[in-house]
Amino acid sequence: MVAQFVEQLINGLTLGMVYVLLAAGLSVIFGVMDVINFSHGELFALGAYFALSIIAPLGSGIGFWVALLAAPLIVGVIGAGIERVTIRPLYGRNPLYHILLTFGLVLIINDLIKLVWGTEQQQLVVPDYLTQSISVFSIQLSLYNYFIIGFAGVLAVGTWLLLNRTKYGMIIRAGSQDRQMVRNVGIDIDRYYTLVFGFGAALAAVAGIVLGGYQSVSTGMGNSVIIPAFVVVVLGGLGSFRGAVFGGLLVGVVQTMMRVYNGTTLFELGGFALTIPNLQGLTVFLLMIGVLLVKPQGLFGTRGDESEGGEGEILVGSSGGLLTDSTRTKLGILFIAAMIVLPILLLFTGSRYYVLVMNNILIWAIFALSLDVVMGYAGLVPLGHTMFYGVGAYTSALVMLHFTSSFVVAIAAAILICAVIAWIVGSLSIRVSGVYFAMITLAFAELFYNAVFRLGFTGGSDGLLGFEPTMGIAGLGVPLSEISFAFMGYEIEQQIIFYYIGLLLAVLAFLFARRVMNAPFGSVIQSIRESEERAEFVGYNTVKYKRRAFVISGGIAGLAGGLLAASPTTFVISPDQTLAWIHSGEVIVIALLGGMGTLFGPMLGAGAFFGAEEILSQYTEQWRMIIGIIFVLFVIYVPRGLVSVPSLVVQRFDRFGEGGKPGIGIDESEVQSDD
Amino acid sequence: MTEAVLETDGLTKRFGELTAVDDISLSVEDGEFRSVIGPNGAGKTTTFNLITGALKPSEGAVLFKGEDITTMPPHDRVRRGLGRSFQITNVFGGLTVRENVRVAAQSVYDDDIGPVSAMFRDKNSFDGITKQTTEVLEQIGLQHRGEEKAETLAYGDQRRLEIGLVLATDPDIVMLDEPTAGMSSEETQSTMNLISEVLADQSLMLIEHDIDLVMRVSDKITVLTRGQELATGTPEEVANNEDVRDAYLGGARE
């Protein structure tokens, strides 16, 4: 019993040390440059894959050691290159842009790995003498456990010495306290950024190699560690090395213990049993939310909330539009008219399949619209927005399964439940701001994600199936799948009916959001985005307003989720399809791609994103990589999104015109009227 | 005109061992221009933050128009008529000049706007708010620049807008935190002119360390040193006060 406990404790510490290596890099990178690096998990995976390639020709005996030295160096150089090329142009912007950028890098690196090494799970071969089982005080464990703890421990101590005992370390620590002051004393701190980023990447690669040898190497390995690594960093305190060590060990041990001992009865006394609840996967997020609420700066964090968050703003696309409001309205009406005609054209041309694509786009357009309300208008960046999409889908599916198949009731329930959850999550999250808000919403989303695996009524990892909406209410109505009639010789069936329902709801959601944003409420929300302190001091309870914006956003996202469940192509609602954190990232990509702060921009962004996916995936498996590259370019060069492209083009031509080449034949008015 | 609009009663703020503000009791009368001066570290800004609500006092009370507002959040204080301007210009940069003022004016009506109107009625359809917005824009001389973005205004105009935001919230007293910090003497003069011109109907409380400026414009001056109130009186009284000469003016000359 005790021996088993100690065994598990050591297993936990082994995993914990891997987290320490990951989190140390993440944390120092944040401390020095305010960059939240989502691609850290992919650099971790990259380390393991490079090790595979090195070990293959050399054999596991010497290969492993060569890999342990060479692979981190390669990844370190790649990391330094990433900093130079992509992150450097973004310094001085709001730190949230780094989150967006590194999310794009995740897509790119992950697809590169698939391209080079394939998608199959592989085994990183460790020398035999490291894997033999040894017994210490009747505790039976692989020597490799002790190797990981020892090796990672040496690296952690080395990093600590580097930070605390060398001149470079001192500059880096000083930089994480007050960057400007370091510059003022004449040190070019920017030069150190590349070094720090490369070093963090190398540490991540080491972690990838040792964990790859412990478990296995797969393309999903980065994705599976990045969220726990964030929990570690946030728990310990962003920018704190001590916090990363403590948090890493804590999360490693807690995760391992919860996996082994969930559902174990601790003692029984007169019919009363104290059982460890089955909270596997939930505990660390509950821990993180708890810590953030009590001590937003983390357990060892010294920096105040948002010490430098004020630098740089969220760039919204609403500024500097070329068109007058009335032209824009006319264009909008024209656009909707085209959308109404579109399915008929698709029928004529025999490309019925594209109706399905359009249905998906409409659902995501509503989802992206909901994000714009909080991100583009209130200036809050949630990294867990998919929780509302997922909860909406589950609610709608559950209503159709257990209560009534009525489409209207299912959708209404999805909106209502999501609004309520948004109120609760919002009340807790809005107390912290900036990066911390992003992180706490991520934790809540992960909480829901893990909860649907645990809960019985959500169907676990299989999800829910066997529901179907009826177009009607209170027992009256026709199942969507049975609707079918002929129109000009073409069959109008459920896909097309759903398309029009989706289009109607998307337009209504847009009009609703636009109305709200032009009302007194919306104007206060926007003033909070511009300066929360000022809004407070002209007399607004900014917390109350932000919470309301969050509720509205949650409700609209619930509508999108509800529609997903009701869509005729949806046969199953599963956790990965609706609640995985990647969707929170995707919807941010879409909103930024389209142009935040415009409402219609993010909706167009959904069309562009899935349209690009549709086209690219016909030509290449690696379409995510291309979308990632496009996204990275957008974050750097077109941060106001697609909607700002026309005015950027005009600026270009203006500059061109001033250069003394009027003969090119395009003047400003012409560009405007054509647009 | 002798009614106190703002009072502090034994206001004290401790940060650990340090007592930044120590038992300060002030009384500002309706319509008065009060200045608070003192050397660095005298507790001016802390006092300011305690009155506006950015900080909570360790002891003592803040009374506004007779009401105890000690624990009230900042936005409720603003609603009751306690306005503040910022030392560093703090306007809504991405919004138009008119919208800046309009949002500030809207806060005065916030409780009268029903929940449905707040969510769905066009923000420009409220006559009272529109009227007040136009008036304020005229007072600060930006009536022709309403459609420009606030962030594109020149520095001086942004300061005007800053004052306009305070004015639009219809305050009874305006707290000004070193409004001329870092300005040339010319800019200082025009800012003070703007304040006396635009905020003539309000009581004012100015935090400053430019003594000459304070002597010219104030009705009464409070001198703080090491968190304590050293003297309060008319500019002449303060100028002739021995303690003030020793502790502040003497120290400043060295």
CA distance A564 to B183: 59
Residue from A525, A531, A533, A534 to probe the interface with B (highest B Cβ count within 10 Å): A534
pTM of the model: 0.87
Per-residue pLDDT averaged across B64-83, rounded?
91
Q: Which of A344-353, A362-371, A642-651 has the highest mean pLDDT?
A: A362-371
Please provide the CATH number assigned to the domain covering A355-639: 1.10.3470
Domains of chain B: 1-81+171-254 (3.40.50.300), 91-170 (no CATH)
* Highest-pLDDT range among A392-396, A585-589, B142-146: A392-396
Tell me which of B98, B123, B133, B136 to substitute to probe the interface with A (most A C-beta atoms closer than 10 Å).
B123
Check if A530 contacts B (Cβ < 8 Å): yes
Compute the average pLDDT of residues A237-261: 84
Q: What is the pLDDT of residue A477?
A: 67
Question: Closest partner residue to B169 among A521, A530, A538, by Cβ?
Answer: A538
Residue indicated by tokens 């370019």 = A633
Identify whether the C-beta of residue A470 lies closer than 8 Å to the C-beta of residue A478: yes
Asked if A530's CB is within 8 angstroms of B92's CB, the reply is yes
Interval A183-198 mean pLDDT: 84
Is pLDDT of A414 > 70? yes
pLDDT class for B85, splitting at 50, 70, 90? confident
Q: pLDDT, tens digit, for every residue of A306-343?
A: 444 444 566 666 655 566 777 888 888 888 888 888 88
Quick one: CA dihedral A115, A119, A124, A125, positive or negative? Answer: negative
CA distances (Å), origin B181, targets A398, B87, B88, B192, B251: 62, 7, 9, 12, 21
Show the beta-strand stretches assigned E in A474-627. 476-479, 485-487, 490-492, 572-573
Question: Is A538 at the interface with chain B, CB within 8 A?
Answer: yes
- B133 phi/psi in degrees, rounded to 5: -60, -45
Q: Is B91 close to A534, i.e. CB distance below 8 A?
A: yes
Minimal-distance CA residue of chain B relative to A526 = B95
Structure tokens at B140: 């600060």
Q: What is the pLDDT of residues A442-500, one digit of tens each?
A: 989 989 998 888 777 777 777 787 777 777 665 566 677 666 676 666 677 788 888 99
Name the residue in chain A with its Cα closest to that of B168: A538
Q: How far apart are CA A253 and CA A17, in angstroms?
A: 10
Interchain CB distance below 8 Å, B75 and A534: no
Does B94 sit within 8 Å of A529, measured CB to CB? Answer: yes
Distances (CA, A) of A582 to A230, A563, A575, A576, A588: 14, 20, 12, 9, 10
The alpha carbon of B160 is separated from its chain's Cα centroid by a whole number of angstroms, namely: 14
User: Does residue A53 carry a pLDDT above 80?
Assistant: yes
Task: Reply yes or no on domain A2-294 having CATH 1.20.58.
Answer: no
Backbone angles phi, psi at A339, to 5 degrees: -65, -35
CB A368 within 8 A of CB A603: yes
How far apart (Å, rounded) are the C-alpha atoms in residues A76 and A89? Answer: 20
pLDDT at residue B239 above 80? yes
d(CA A606, CA A576): 20
Asked if A508 reaches chain B (Cβ–Cβ under 8 Å), the answer is: no
- How large is the average pLDDT for residues B131-138? 92
pLDDT for A664 beyond 60? no
* Interface with chain A: mutation pick from B51, B80, B91, B95, highest number of A CBs within 10 Å: B95
Q: Which residue of A has its CA nearest to B90?
A: A534
Q: How confident is the model over A110-119, as a mean pLDDT?
A: 88
Of A225, A232, A231, nearest to A41 (Cα)?
Answer: A225
Task: Return the exposure string of A536-569: e unless at least 16 CB atoms fall within 10 Å of the residue's CB, then b.
Answer: bbbbbbbbebbbbbbbbbbbbbbbbbbbbbbbbe
- Residue ranges, comma separated, of all CATH 1.10.3470 domains in chain A are 2-294, 355-639
Q: Which residues of A touch B79 (CB under 8 A)?
A: 539
What percentage of chain B has pLDDT greater than the value 90?
30
pLDDT of residue A272: 63
Which tens digit of pLDDT belongs to each residue from B3-29?
788 999 999 998 888 888 889 899 999
Min CA distance, B122 vs chain A (Å)? 5
- Return all residues near A268 (Cβ < 8 A) that are at least 6 apart: A274
* CA separation for the pair A651, B149 (Å, rounded): 18
A8 close to B (CB below 8 A): no
Q: Does A325 touch chain B (CB under 8 A)?
A: no
Subunit contact B75:A537, Cβ cutoff 8 A: yes
> What is the per-residue pLDDT across A95-104, written as a single tens digit (0 to 9) for each?
778 888 888 8
Is some CB atom of chain B closer than 8 A to the CB atom of A310? no
A513–chain B nearest CA distance, Å: 9
Asked if residue B37 has pLDDT above 60, the reply is yes
**A145 neighbors A215 (Cβ within 8 angstroms):** no
CB contact under 8 A, B75 and A533: no
**Tens-digit pLDDT profile for residues A574-627:** 888 888 888 998 899 899 888 888 888 899 999 999 998 888 888 887 888 888
Tell me, rounded to whole angstroms, the distance of Cα A364 from its chain centroid.
Answer: 15
Token pair listed for A261: 């001992």
Please list every residue in chain B whose beta carbon sits closer than 8 Å to the beta carbon of residue A319. Answer: 94, 149
Q: Find the residue in B nearest to A533 (Cα).
A: B90
pLDDT computed for residue A662 by the predictor: 38
Q: Both tokens of residue A220?
A: 């999903």
pLDDT of residue A322: 62
pLDDT band at residue A225 under the 50/70/90 scheme: confident
In single-letter form, the type of residue at position A169 comes to: G
Distance of alpha carbon A586 from its chain centroid, rounded?
7
Verify whether the Cβ–Cβ distance A538 to B78 is below 8 Å.
Answer: yes
Q: How many angstroms separate the CA atoms of A659 and B80, rounded? A: 57
Q: Which residue of B has its CA nearest to A512?
A: B120
Nearest to B202 by CA among B175, B221, B222: B175
Q: Given an 8 Å threshold on Cβ–Cβ distance, is A538 in contact with B113?
A: no
Distinct helix (H) and strand (E) counts, chain B: 11, 11
Q: Is A659 at the interface with chain B, CB within 8 A?
A: no
Provide the 8-state DSSP code for B204: E
Q: Which of A104, A109, A84 is CA-nearest to residue A196? A: A84
Calpha distance A200→A26 (Å, rounded) = 7
Tokens 């964090």 correspond to A301
Q: For residue A187, which of A173, A202, A197, A198 has the smallest C-alpha distance?
A: A173
Cα separation of A210 and A124, whole Å? Answer: 9
pLDDT band at B250 (very low <50, low <70, confident <90, very high): low
In tens, the pLDDT along B153-177 reads 888 888 889 889 999 998 999 998 8
d(CA A641, CA A588): 12
Min distance A536 CA to chain B CA atoms (Å): 5
A414/A667 Cα distance (integer angstroms) = 50
Which residue of A518, A526, A538 is in closest CB contact with B165? Answer: A538
